[in-house]
Amino acid sequence: MHGTAERLTAALGPEQVTTDPALTTGYAHDEAEWAPHGTPAALIRPRDAHDVATTVAICAETRTPLVGRGAGTGLSGAANAADGWIVVSFERMNRVLHIDTAQQTATVQPGLINDHLRAAAAEHGLWYPPDPASSPWSTIGGNVNTNAGGLCCVKYGVTRDYVLGLQTVTADAATVRLGRTTAKGVTGYDLCGLMVGSEGTLGLITEITLRLIPAPATAPHTVIGHFHTLADAGRATAAITADGITPSALELIDRPCLQAVDDWKNMGLATEGDVLLLARTDTPDPTGSDQADRIEEHFRANGAGYAARSTDPEEAEALFQARRLAYPALERLGPLLTEDVCVPRALLPDMLQRIEAAAKRHDTRIANIAHAGDGNLHPLFIVPADDTPARHRAQNAFDDIVDDALALGGTVTGEHGVGLLKKRGAATELGPDVLAMHRAVKTALDPHNILNPGKIFD
């Protein structure tokens, strides 16, 4: 690695290269609590794909590891750097390059904020559905690298379902285009799809072409249900699924999350019950109205102390905004370790009970938010700062919940990615034969192991 930072500075200029540890350390990690990281040798803020290719070429020659970075909102340690690494931040490559209204596509740079794309698409009557809770801050490049989901994915799918094409810089510094811009295309292997969710281990994405869809024509119906237990809320969710209803969102928020938002924003959310389910259907009427009625019935039949359809669009939007605020509200209480398991939807009640059991078994405070409609749970481990025994208990509960999800036929990550935190669980889920296939792909595309090494698997 000797002299890599100096060579990068000479090639790109001091405006694009920073070596001051006071600045680079702030780019060394994402939001994953307790995921290890070191001190990067340099921070690169490229202006275009050429700068990225130049960076990769120098790192390849010197065998210096590098990691790409969006906004640093990830929750698995996928963007973390070790000592001496190069961090490539895409914050300056943040433009919408083109919106094609005929093809209903958008071509963007990786540093574009998710909500900024959605706003740009809306100007043309179009919509980009993937909406992680971090959409006001997270970047499209980061979303692509982790295959992010969000509140709408129960009906509209995750990031991979919208990525048509990519421009990528490979480990040998070649700039290639993968995928397509047409509505259909089946030429060759799906290398574009392979890059989505690869967490920067196979290439650095410098341009993205995304499928858009027409914006919903009607206002959605929102249904609110307050429950006394997580199990009741899980059963209500399972009943909605069994009824064949696909809501556009179905979110779960428990009392610790509601109370944290109340304490921060004074919204009065925790007064009606211990668990809140928020359902939304955007199917046009009369079907949409009928679905909302049936959702309300399922809430009541499965123990909701209060259930109603919201008649105030502003109130409904405020409730979904509260869901997005749950994570930052809890962060105000101290270090927060976040889980991201996903189980078959019918087994959601069982998984919620297992989470409660893990909390009791390890004397750990766990709050819960979930994309309940697709079985994607986010237990949040609240640990006092500098309490090492509590941290160890939380990590043991974290591992138990991973194992429980796998025992129920689920997955260790629904949308946050494997990164550093889920490597043990990923190895168990994939098994040795499939893990060997992953390693073979990595070796073929990155033979010197310089692209975000050590992530997903060793």
d(C-alpha 131, C-alpha 368), whole Å: 19
First-to-last C-alpha distance (Å) of the chain: 21
Tell me, what CATH number does 187's domain have? 3.30.465.10
In a shared domain, residues 81 and 107: no
Q: What is the pTM of this model?
A: 0.94
Of 160, 190, 214, the residue at which a domain comes to its end is 214
In a shared domain, residues 256 and 343: yes
In a shared domain, residues 396 and 349: yes
pLDDT tens sequence across 153-183: 999 999 999 999 999 999 999 999 999 988 8
Number of folded domains that form the chain: 3
Of 386, 407, 428, the residue at which a domain comes to its end is 407
CA atoms within 13 A on the CB side of 336: 21
In a shared domain, residues 57 and 152: no
In this prediction, residue 319 carries a pLDDT of 87
In a shared domain, residues 103 and 29: no
In a shared domain, residues 100 and 84: no
In a shared domain, residues 240 and 377: yes
Of 270, 253, 259, 265, which Cα lies nearest the Cα of 133?
253
pLDDT tens sequence across 114-161: 999 999 999 999 999 999 989 999 999 999 999 999 999 999 999 999
- The encoded tokens of residue 366 equal 């766990």
The residue segments making up the domain with residue 31 are 4-89
In a shared domain, residues 246 and 382: yes
In a shared domain, residues 397 and 284: yes
Residue 192 scores a pLDDT above 80: yes
More confident of the two residues 335 and 54: 54
In a shared domain, residues 127 and 228: no
Quickly state the pLDDT bin for 312 (edges 50, 70, 90).
confident
d(C-alpha 120, C-alpha 110), whole Å: 15
In a shared domain, residues 254 and 387: yes
Of 38, 67, 89, the residue at which a domain comes to its end is 89
**Residue 452: inside a domain:** no
**Residue 451: inside a domain:** no
- The answer to whether 133 touches 327, Cβ cutoff 8 Å, is yes
